[in-house]
Amino acid sequence: MFCALQSETAKEILSSYNDHIKNLDTVVLIEDGKLFTQSTAVLRIFKSLDGGWKYLNLFTVLPKFFRDAFYRLTSKFRYVFFGKRKECMIPTPALRERFL
């Protein structure tokens, strides 16, 4: 399940974790009651995917400061790497069910 960080649902969920995370601008994963951000969140998400993506979780052996620096660099230039669409994707009914 997922939601936008700016949504009221996310604000409510995150409020129970810490007051200092109100202004997050990164990916956040809550798994088994624990909050993960930046590279750790992405690598844990990859671990749960099918196929070769799960093997990227091996990068958790690298120091967090190094992984997070790479995450920030990638997120800063994401449109250069992955492109940018002029229109937003319209979620399918199945995908819509996964929004909080």
pLDDT per residue as tens digits for the range 25-64: 788 899 998 989 899 999 999 999 988 988 898 899 999 9
90 three-class SS: coil
Domain segments of the chain: what residues? 8-84
Distance CA 45, CA 67 (A): 15
Best-predicted range by mean pLDDT (3-7, 8-12, 63-67, 96-100): 63-67
pTM (2 decimals)? 0.77
Amino acid identity, residue 37? T
Cα dihedral sign, 51-54-55-59 = positive
Residue 20 pLDDT more than 60?
A: no
Could you report the per-residue pLDDT of 80-99, keeping only the tens digit for each?
A: 777 788 888 788 989 888 88
Alpha helices in the chain (DSSP H): 8-15, 38-48, 64-76, 78-82, 93-96
